[in-house]
Structures are given as C-alpha cells and as structure tokens.
Amino acid sequence: MKKRVMGNIAFAAVAGFLLAAPVTLAQDIRKETVHFKAGTSGTTIQGRIKGYESVSYLLGAKAGQVMHARLSTRHGATYFNIYGPGKGPGDEAIAVSDRSDPINTFEGVLPEDGNYTISVYMMRSAARRNEVSDYSLDISIGGKAAAAAAGNPGDATVAGADFNATGQLPCARHAGQPMGQCSFGVTRQGNGNGAITVFWPDGGSRVIFFEMNTPASFDKAQADGDAEMEVGSNADLYLVTIGNQRFEIPEAVMTGG
C-alpha cells in the first residue's frame, strides 16, 4: 500500500543523534566531572584549550531527560562532541557541534541512563598552529519522565519535551545515503492522532503527523520545495518517504502498544 500526502507547517526543536565524529587527535585529554548546584538544572563552564588539548566534561543523566548544550567562543575552530554512556573521543558521537544548526548547539532527548561526555576540542588545522581558545560552555539537563499523559491510558510524558515516548528508528536524510538511526519523540493526542519528531544526526528535525495511527502529513517548510510524502506499509511497519528523506516507523510508535 502506498499513498501521497502533502505537508503541514509546524515548528520543531533542533537536535542531533548517532553519527561519526571527526577525529580530534587530542594529545592531552583533561577530564572534569560536572555537578549542578542544588536547586538548579544547569551550569556555565569557562574553559581554555591550546593546540591538541581537549576537555571531556562528564555528567550523569537519565533516559528521557532533555540535554541542552551551547558553546560560545571567538575561536572559529573550536567545537564539541557529545558521547553516550561508556563512550568518548574516538567513538561514535550522538552530536557533533560543527554540523549542528545553529552551530555549536545541541538539544536532544537522552536515550539511556548513564554518564554522558561532552568533549570540547580544536580542529586539527588550528591545533597544528598551537592556537589558544577561550570558551564558555552552557549545559542543562531537565525533563524527567512524568507519570500521567493526555494521550493513551498508561502513557507517560517527558516533562519539558511533551513526549509520551522516545527511542530510535531507521532513517536517511539524503539521496543514496544508507539507513542509519535517528532519535525520536512521539506525542500521542488520543484517538490514534499525534506527532513524531525525528531528530537528524547532523542537526535539525522532521515532524511527521499521524491520524488513526497512520502517517498522514509532515511539517513542510520552504526548503522542502514541492516535496510530497509517500507512505507504504509492510506488516506493522510504515515506510515513509519525504523527498529524499526516508523513515521506517513501527506502528507501535503511534499506538503505544
């Protein structure tokens, strides 16, 4: 079964998920554990790196919480990567800030409990010249899972993000690109209606609206041009195409079952 669906206008937050991070080749990795003051959910860190130095900031978080990170610097080649629990520089990152939009920012729903690492580093060309970078890193974590939802009975929401559930689903953003994994958050409004926000690995997001537990429309923007949405199905899996973008959405994401 396949059908074409036109898009609706909507707004979604910027975020990112699993992608290969650039190799920083840092020779001096300094590690610092981040603690928020009592009664707060964030902090601002002032730092400096020189040449191949990098700083790995470690902070604990729970699945379903929302992390915000923003790096401010006058140095044009200083960025950060974010790594999931048990990973660090040299591993696959969940965010690479030189590819984010806006640059050097991140907002995303965290997929699992554990200690996350934010690595601040300098690009190789600048590190080679032994340049110095002063920076300010703003970090906040909020949105604990809350009991009670307005959608299906038994749903929970992620406070601050209004998601009933979060997870990963297969996706591809560009033509010819192999399917990878994107994080998503779903909002169920009841009666089989709601919205799925898919977060692109290189920043930005796509919202797919569903009706009667079937993908029905999307957050069409000017950049989408005349793109239409095609929806196919294979058993309990929906195959969604929007221009060059592709998604595989299990029916359970919409039904909550």
Those residues with Cβ within 8 angstroms of residue 249's Cβ, 6 or more apart along the chain or in another chain: 169, 196, 208, 215, 237, 238, 240
The whole-model pTM stands at: 0.53
Phi then psi dihedrals of residue 32, to 5 deg: -135, 135
User: What is the full per-residue pLDDT of the chain (257 aa) written as tens digits?
Assistant: 555 544 433 323 333 344 444 544 446 899 999 988 887 889 999 999 999 999 999 999 888 788 889 999 999 999 999 999 999 998 888 888 888 878 999 888 788 889 999 999 999 999 999 999 999 999 998 764 333 333 444 444 443 456 788 888 999 999 988 998 888 888 888 889 999 989 888 777 889 999 999 999 998 877 788 889 999 999 899 999 999 999 999 999 999 86
Matching residue, tokens 């221009």: 243
Domains defined along the chain, listed by start: 2-13+145-255 (no CATH), 28-142 (2.60.120.380)
